[in-house]
């Protein structure tokens, strides 16, 4: 299979992510906390101004609005489908399920309660991840080296890891072996730099 270049190079990005998430406890923490961060971000985005009000249509009058939350979700969904067709479609569906669920919940809670729920959830999930990196991984999170990549790709990579471990899924044959080799090379490179700094 022809390898995608640049921002759509799934192998390189997944190896970069894997180099920061090799400890089983840290992997579990991220598996549990990444998607709630995405979901609760969408809860807050529900209160951004709407570009087009869907409530004008009787059959769509369920509290959904084409606001920043929708376009945020659309960006993630399209990016994931461009990274990998099969897992990307599943990730896109999860993104839109989160958008619908977050919109519904925020509409019921109202802004005064939503921001408190979002703040508590975000603090809990982010602190959990920093503990995962500091205590178990013993390496600073990827967002300190590449913020955009870490925030954009993390939900997809968590899903990809779950699909691989649960069902043996690979975007194409040999993907995981190649990623594993690149991840180990990234870790060795980081360890060598760390050793050089300490000596």
Summarize pLDDT for 107-164 with one digit per residue, the tens.
Answer: 999 999 999 999 999 999 999 999 999 999 988 887 777 777 778 899 999 999 999 9
Asked whether the predicted pLDDT for residue 36 surpasses 80, the reply is yes
Say what the pLDDT of residue 141 is.
83
Say what the pLDDT of residue 1 is.
47
> pLDDT band for position 54 (50/70/90)?
low
Say what the pLDDT of residue 176 is.
92
Say what the pLDDT of residue 109 is.
96
Q: What is the mean pLDDT of residues 83-93?
A: 96
Q: Rounded mean pLDDT of the chain?
A: 89
Say what the pLDDT of residue 197 is.
77
Rounded-to-10 torsion of CA 122, 8, 84, 75: 50
Q: What percent of the chain has pLDDT over 70?
A: 91
> pLDDT band for position 58 (50/70/90)?
low
Q: What is the pLDDT of residues 2-29, one digit of tens each?
A: 456 577 889 988 998 888 898 999 999 9
Say what the pLDDT of residue 45 is.
97
Say what the pLDDT of residue 118 is.
98
The 3 state secondary structure assigned to the chain is CCCCCHHHCHHHHHHHHHHHCCCHHHHHHHHHHHHHHHHHHHHHHCCCCCCEEHHHCHHHCCCCEECHHHHHHHHHHHHHHHHCHHHHHHHHHHHHHHHHHHHHHHHHHCHHHHHHHHHHHHHHHHHHHHHHHHHHHCCCCHHHCCHHHHHHHHHHHHHHHHHHHHHCCCCCCCHHHHHHHHHHHHHHHHHHHHHHHHC
Say what the pLDDT of residue 65 is.
81
Say what the pLDDT of residue 194 is.
75
Say what the pLDDT of residue 40 is.
98
């Amino acid at each position: 299979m022809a390898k995608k270049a640049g921002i759509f190079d799934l192998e390189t990005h997944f190896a970069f992510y894997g180099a920061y998430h090799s400890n089983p406890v840290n992997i579990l923490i991220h598996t549990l906390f990444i998607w709630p961060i995405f979901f609760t971000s969408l809860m807050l985005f529900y209160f951004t101004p709407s570009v087009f009000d869907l409530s004008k249509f009787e059959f769509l009058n369920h509290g959904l609005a084409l606001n920043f939350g929708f376009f945020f979700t659309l960006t993630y969904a399209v990016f994931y489908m461009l990274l990998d067709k099969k897992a990307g479609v599943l990730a896109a569906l999860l993104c839109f399920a989160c958008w619908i669920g977050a919109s519904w919940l925020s509409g019921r809670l109202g802004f005064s309660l939503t921001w408190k729920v979002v703040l508590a959830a975000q603090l809990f999930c982010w602190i959990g991840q920093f503990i995962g990196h500091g205590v178990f991984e013993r390496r600073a999170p990827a967002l300190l080296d590449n913020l955009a990549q870490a925030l954009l790709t993390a939900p997809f990579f968590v899903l990809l890891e779950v699909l691989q471990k649960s069902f043996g899924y690979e975007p194409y044959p040999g993907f995981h072996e190649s990623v594993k080799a690149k991840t180990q090379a990234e870790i060795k490179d980081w360890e060598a730099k760390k050793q050089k700094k300490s000596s």
